[in-house]
Each structure stands twice: as structure tokens, then as C-alpha cells.
Chains A and B, each alone.
Chain A
């Protein structure tokens, strides 16, 4: 069940990521073409592309959390023995999960404030729709790191036994 949920989650992340990058390329190129060859442009294209950059970055970060490929300071890790390294990762992944969940909470409040105020981002798109990716991304990353921490704790216990 959990494995199936993870599989679905991974596919959603990958698909949306490809669509977002594809859309970003499409609109960025279209805008340049329209401006240079037809002396016109789509008014909401530039803000849309900039929002897509945020989405691509955050969904990319979600996938990076899943694949454990976020940038870390690795100076010490090279000199730790595997056992200690695993133990350290149980703690650091848990800490990362907690931080992600706190950011989820504070960004939800930010999104909700814009929802209530009916702030508009561009054209007829409300701001909260563009912003919603922030709490989503941090929630998913929080869950991923909690799972990483759990997996590593299990591995550590398995070794000790």
C-alpha cells in the first residue's frame, strides 16, 4: 500500500515537472518570437514563465529530496565511518523533516492570507494558486526526509542486531 502510494507520488512529481519545464520553454520562446517577428506579445506570458520557474525549482527540489540529492556540506562525512555516518543521517534527516514542516505551516498561512484577500497574480489567476506549490513542496519534502530518517534508523538497528 505504502509502496504503491510512493510510486503514484513519484509519477505525479515527474509528470508535473516535465509539463512545467515544457510550458516554461514554450512560453519563453513564444514570447520572444511574437515580440521580434510580430511586434506583439502575450501580456501574462512573462509572469507565467517566472511562476513556472518557481514551480520547476520547487518540484525539482521535491524530486531531489526523494533521491537524496540535495546539496550538503560533505567535508566531515568523508572522514566518518559508515556506522557513524548512518547515525548522523538519522538525526540530520529528522531535523530537515521538522524544518520542512515548520516552513509548510508558515507558508500555508501566507497562502491563506492571499486567498482571503483575493490577491491576483496576473490575468485572471489568483495569487494563491501560484503560491500553493510552496507548502506542497515543503510538506512533501518533510515527509520524504522523515521517511529517509526512518529507513536509516531501521538500517542502523538492523546492523546492531
Chain B
């Protein structure tokens, strides 16, 4: 059993598709507990009992539609018109545009392609140092991960619900909880942008009502989208899955019929592309629900907790160790793998240490967000390297200041739970 598990882990590291690794672990686990293996299929099929999952394909398809259209151009023009006059204006424009675009499209690396490609020349022309710009765009490709309707917030909620912690965790709570921590990251990075912008010799742009109105008019059809998504969910008018259905219909209508930037004949291709991503995520989630169930049956988290408690006795030490562990984890695992493999193990321990499951989710995802641009597997490093034609080493060095700023924000998010929980529970 242990030998087989080790063999599987070796295969996983060598590049075996993760869903197959997890499925094999689940099969092995149930086999060793003398449980009928059909339970793997039964657990997989239980995904149809969860209404929240509908949001995943719908929001992902919406994001693909947006990234195929010229929405990124309109978003950049709009943020530039309203924020460009600030010191460090362009840097702040980049941060806000990246965060909004990532939240709406999911952190799939498409932000760097869509927004980074637009802003890189602009930042260069604006007199910003090349190193500053490269680092900014590489590290901001995952900024916005904590804002709704990010898919990872939904997936964390689904996994946490599966664990039966005795505390209800709703997806709406996750959507609320990510808001202030996400804004904190945005604010800290913006301050750095302002500081850097101070040293840029070129004069700042003046605010122009004409340009602001023009940008508004151009983006007029897309402006209601955040209102539909956020307003619908926060006001309690829609559930997350309903907000997703309304967004997909709305975006289909405006991009295909109003802006006419996506020809009808392209729709099947975009549908297929988006569902390949969804399939990759959902199948991992499905088999992980089975393996998690075995973990709980076998009381693995409980044993793990006893072991941890023998070595760690207070919450602060636990959180500190957790942060170190998650940063390292983010370096070697992508966010989806980390979610399905690690959350079932550490969440019960964290709850036993008195940490709110929603807070843990935000801490987890905030750490993983940094993992997007840390070597060796940071996906955004590779996308940026490809897009900007730079070596990985150069991008890693350029991202370093952003790494430390985001690390600072992660520490604040970790040790100040109220920041994540304020909007759900009140002061």
C-alpha cells in the first residue's frame, strides 16, 4: 500500500495526469479498506447534486468570450481615462485592469496575453523602467484571484463543504471574504506603483472629461457586467450559478450581436476551448471528492492533527508554519492541484486550531496567487516569458519586489482574520 502510493507519487512528479493519480490513490485507498470500488464512480456522480458547480463552466465560457473580444482594449482605455492622471498612473491602471480582467476570466494566464500585451508598450513609452514593467505585468497576471466570480473561490467552497466541518461554508461567503484582502493587495501594489511613478521623468497625463466620456461610451455595454455578477450575488438576488447564467447570456449578446467582435462561426471553437479547461478542472475535482471521502473514512486528517498538535501548540505558530508550507507548496504545485490535494488535509487541522474555514480559504488562495509567478512551475512566468520574449531568470528577478509586497499582504491577511471575515460576520 505504502509502496504503491510512493510509486504513484513518483509517477505524478514525472508528469502523469493528476486526475489519474488521484483516481488511483482513491482506488487504492478504498481497496485497502475493503470497500467496493464502484464508490469512486458514485462519488464522481455526486457532483450532480451540487448546484454551485454550474457556475464553473458558465463563468469559464464567459471569460473565454471576453478574452476573445476586444474587451481588454476597452477596459484598459477606461481605467487609463480615470486613473491615468495619478502619479504612477499607468502602473495603477495596469494593476486595476489586470485585477478586473483576471476576476472575470479566471486566473488562466490569459490576463498577461490580453492586458499585458496592451500595457507593456504603454508602460515603456510612459518612461517606466523595463524591469519594473515586466515584474508588474508578470506578477499581476494572477491579481484578482480573490475577487468574485473567480473559479478557485468556488472550488475551495465545494471542497470545504465536502469535509463536513460542522460550520456551513457558502460560496457567497467566499465571494464576500475575498473582497477586502484582494483590495489590500491592490492598494499595497498601487502604493509601490505611485512610489515608482514618482521617479518617472515624463509628465503625467491630465484628466480629460472628453476622453473619460469617450471611454465610458465605448465600454457602455460591458460596464453592467460587474454589476450583474457582484450586485446580483451580494444583494442576494441571484445565487452564484444564476449570476453565471445571466452573465453568459449577457456577454454572448453584447460580444456577438452588439460589438460584433465574435463571429457566430467561432462560437463552437470557443465553447470547446473553454470546456477543455473546465473538463481538466472538474474531473480532478470529481476524483478528489472520492479520495477525500476515503481520507475522512480512514481518519487521516485526525491522525495528522494529532501529530501536528504534538509539535505545535498555539495558533500563531501554526499559522506561521502554514504560511511557509503554502509558499513552498505554491512553488511546486499549481493552484487546482494544491486545492484538491492539500485543503482536505489541512482544513480540519486549521479548524481544530480555531481558524475559520473561510479565512483559511482566503489565506490558502492568497498564498497560491504568489505561486503563479514563483519558479519553477509558476505558470505566469512561462506565459510572460513567451509573450515578452524574455528569459525566465530575468522575469523572476523583475518580479522579486512584487513577491515581497504580496508576501507582506499575505502575512497581513493571515494574522488579521477580521479582514476576511468582516463582510460575512460584521465587526
Contacts and interface: CB of A to CB of B under 8 A. Distances in A.
Interface in A76-118: 76-79, 85, 88-89, 91-93, 95-96, 99-100, 102-103, 106-107, 109-111, 113
Main secondary structure of the interface of A (DSSP, over half): helix
Nearest to B245: A28
B41 A103 contact: yes
Contacts of B268: 14, 18
Nearest to A74: B377
A137 to B, nearest CB: 8
A88 B10 CA distance: 10
B277 A134 contact: no
Interface in B14-49: 14-21, 23-24, 27, 37-38, 40-42, 44-45, 47-49
A75 B415 CA distance: 30
B271 A50 contact: no
B332 interface: yes
A139 interface: no
B248 A60 contact: no
User: Which residue, A18, A21, A24, has most C-beta atoms of chain B within 10 A?
Assistant: A21
Contacts of B242: 28, 32
B257 to A, nearest CB: 15
Interface residues of A, number: 63
A14 B421 CA distance: 43
Contact of B17 (A59, A72, A103, A113): A72
B48 A61 contact: no
Contacts of A14: 268, 272
B250 to A, nearest CB: 10
Nearest to A97: B20
B38 A32 contact: no
B48 A130 contact: yes
A25 B376 contact: no
Nearest to A92: B16
B213 interface: no
User: Which residue, B19, B38, B48, B334, has most C-beta atoms of chain A within 10 A?
Assistant: B48
A50 B49 CA distance: 7
A51 B48 contact: yes
B337 interface: yes
B175 interface: no
B14 A70 contact: no
A17 interface: yes
Contact of A60 (B14, B49, B249, B278): B278
B271 A17 contact: yes
Interface stretch (B52-60, B129-137, B316-324): B52-60
Contact of A134 (B27, B45, B249, B332): B45
A143 interface: no
Interface in B342-356: none
A50 B241 CA distance: 11
Contact of B50 (A50, A61, A71): A50
User: Which residue, A50, A56, A59, A145, has most C-beta atoms of chain B within 10 A?
Assistant: A56
Contacts of B286: 57
A124 interface: no
Interface string A6-28: 00000000100110011011001
A113 B38 contact: yes
A64 interface: yes
A131 B271 CA distance: 23
B333 interface: yes
A131 B317 CA distance: 46
A46 interface: yes
B284 to A, nearest CB: 6
B10 to A, nearest CB: 10
A113 B424 CA distance: 44
Interface of B: 11-21, 23-24, 27, 37-38, 40-42, 44-45, 47-51, 53-54, 56-58, 61, 238, 241-242, 244-246, 248-249, 252, 267-268, 271-272, 274-284, 286, 332-334, 336-337, 376-377
Interface of A: 14, 17-18, 21-22, 24-25, 28-29, 31-32, 46-47, 49-51, 53-54, 56-65, 67, 69-79, 85, 88-89, 91-93, 95-96, 99-100, 102-103, 106-107, 109-111, 113, 130-131, 134-135, 145
Given A29-B248, A32-B238, 14 more contacts: A17-B272, A18-B267, A25-B245, A53-B56, A56-B275, A56-B279, A59-B279, A61-B282, A64-B280, A75-B13, A77-B15, A107-B40, A110-B45, A131-B41
26 contacts: A25-B245, A28-B54, A28-B248, A31-B245, A32-B242, A47-B48, A54-B48, A56-B278, A71-B280, A72-B15, A72-B17, A72-B18, A73-B12, A73-B377, A76-B15, A77-B15, A89-B15, A91-B11, A95-B11, A96-B16, A96-B20, A99-B23, A103-B27, A134-B41, A134-B45, A135-B41
